[in-house]
Chain A
Amino acid sequence: MRIFRILYFKELKTYFLTPFGWLILAFAALMQGLILSTTLEAFENQAQSESLIYLNFTSPFFWFYFLFLFPVLTMRLFSEENRSGTLEGLLTAPVRTWQVVFSKFCAAYTAFAFLWIPAIIHFKLFTTITDIPPPFAPGELYGAMIIIMLMGALFTAFGCLASALTSSQIIAGVVCVGILFVHFLLGLVTTFFGDQIAAAPLFDFVSSQNHLRDFSRGLLDSRPLAYYLCSASFILFLTHHLLDYRRWKP
């Protein structure tokens, strides 16, 4: 646990003690602000039957920036150590591979969680600034944040996997975007082909768009919880073995 803590804080420093992490935070805050203001414009023009949170998170712009946060946060994690050779120094210290993988994942995940602070502030400030009751229920905000954190766990794990695959940050980033995009498309299959196809329940089950819609209405469901946590663990397990590949390759 001590080793994990040391590695975790070392990794966290690279996010918060360099301009890198703050740039991503600025980008995320900007996008969140833009989406909120366009959603508010829609409210201004006509009456809406859905809440602000729901419209905010189902906005088409949301996925456009959300999916790009992960490669930026994770592409450096393993590929940079691999390229510069520091991985050798790290793994010949008395450190277990899972401690390395898990500490890097947790640091990236913490950085990801920080990116939602501006969004929460935006929604909390709504009443203070406008002096009207917020056009959403608190449960909807919590629901949306919970599902974003769950999706974040799996998508960060995908990023770790992509980064462990290669010693080039760029390739790691591209692979991560590729995986996330395919995952995103799987969620759109029933939209394109209708829910009459045999595998429709399966596609609905993995559809992040559906999960986000449900949770941002305040409908919490344990199936996405199980789906994201289990698959994130599995992807991290794969990352662990990928990092140890040199130990078991023929």
Chain B
Amino acid sequence: MALASAHTSTSQSLSSDSIKKNRMIEISNLSKNYGRHRAVDQISFEVARGEIVGFLGPNGAGKTTTLRMLTGFLPPSSGAARIAGKDIFRESLEVRKRIGYMPENVPLYTEMRVKEYLRFRGALRGLSGSRLRKRMGEVLETCGLTEVRRKMIKTLSKGYRQRVGLADALIHEPDLLILDEPTNGLDPNQIRAIRSLIQNLGQKHTILLSTHILSEVEMTCNKVVIIDGGKIKAADTPTKLVNSMRRAGRVTVEMQAPIPEAEIAITSFEEVTKITSESLQDGWNRFTVFVAPHTDTRAKLGNLASQKSWPLRSLSRRVGTLEEVFVELTRKD
């Protein structure tokens, strides 16, 4: 048996493996050079079917380059990636059939009418006849374009153009949606509309969206990949990322305790790395306790206060935000 399985080629075993594990995107050591500049440097990550993944990074981090490689617009300099088990370079056409891609800034044929444009794009993706008409009706409905379907794209506002781009990406019911900064340049109401649209789409599709608006990711995505300088800095769920952050290990205590004694008592806990204290004007003292990540000292601190009968009025752990994680991981200093 072992011999027989050894005979199957690597690519076959890889693709059957990916179907088994239900992986939509598998990227391994993908790199892209522009001349001497390495825009994307050996990145690897995976996206499971049905996930909404936020692809974060500062400007120029390599987000768009990565997405362009996945959609087959740019070839990778080295490494490989598979989408739904198909190699992005060797089976580019097959991959492109399964992807709905909305490029950055949503380029559209502005002299076409909305319906005409969607009919053209749907036909390019192999839809025809009643199926094309049905899908056009559906995407016009989902993206809220029914009212403007006869208008020329150049007369539409940015928000509507964004929706046309999204409708274009959706029309052939792709397995994977790749959206490059879908809410770029929209006003807050439009951002909300697009965001709820993406959340609804997430029930049926796998979505990879790049952005640098972090609140958006916290609200919509169940996985986050952070890229900076062409390298992956983190890939996890937003909650786990926030918890593992350095600054999340900061506990603030306000109690009426003598500063030197309390400091000695608190630093005796093994996970405590540092402590600072200050006297507040109303006679209380505030202690800021730095602890190692993934530990929680709050219970111990509560016990300590009750043992020593120090009055305690506040004990809180700093709740980090994704924004802080992002800044911590991508800061240049």
Contact = CB atoms under 8 A, between A and B. Distances in A.
Nearest to A17: B111
Range for the number of chain A residues in contact with chain B: 20 to 34
Interface residues of B, number: 27
Interface in B70-123: 71-75, 93, 96-97, 99, 101, 103, 105, 107-111, 120-121, 123
B124 interface: yes
Contacts, number: 56
A15 B72 CA distance: 30
A86 B108 contact: yes
A247 B74 contact: yes
B107 A86 contact: yes
Interface in B245-282: none
Contact of B107 (A14, A85, A95): A85
Contact of B109 (A3, A86, A91, A96): A86
A84 B74 CA distance: 18
A250 B97 contact: no
Contacts of B168: 89
Interface of B is mostly: loop
Contact of A94 (B107, B108, B110, B125): B125
Contact of B103 (A14, A89, A248): A89
Contacts of B125: 93-94
Interface of B: 33, 35, 68, 71-75, 93, 96-97, 99, 101, 103, 105, 107-111, 120-121, 123-126, 168
Given A95-B96, A248-B75, 6 more contacts: A7-B124, A84-B110, A86-B107, A88-B68, A92-B96, A247-B75
21 contacts: A3-B124, A10-B120, A18-B111, A85-B105, A86-B107, A86-B109, A89-B101, A89-B121, A89-B168, A91-B72, A91-B73, A92-B71, A92-B99, A92-B103, A93-B96, A93-B124, A93-B125, A94-B124, A96-B93, A247-B74, A250-B35
Interface of A: 3, 6-7, 10, 14, 18, 84-89, 91-96, 246-248, 250
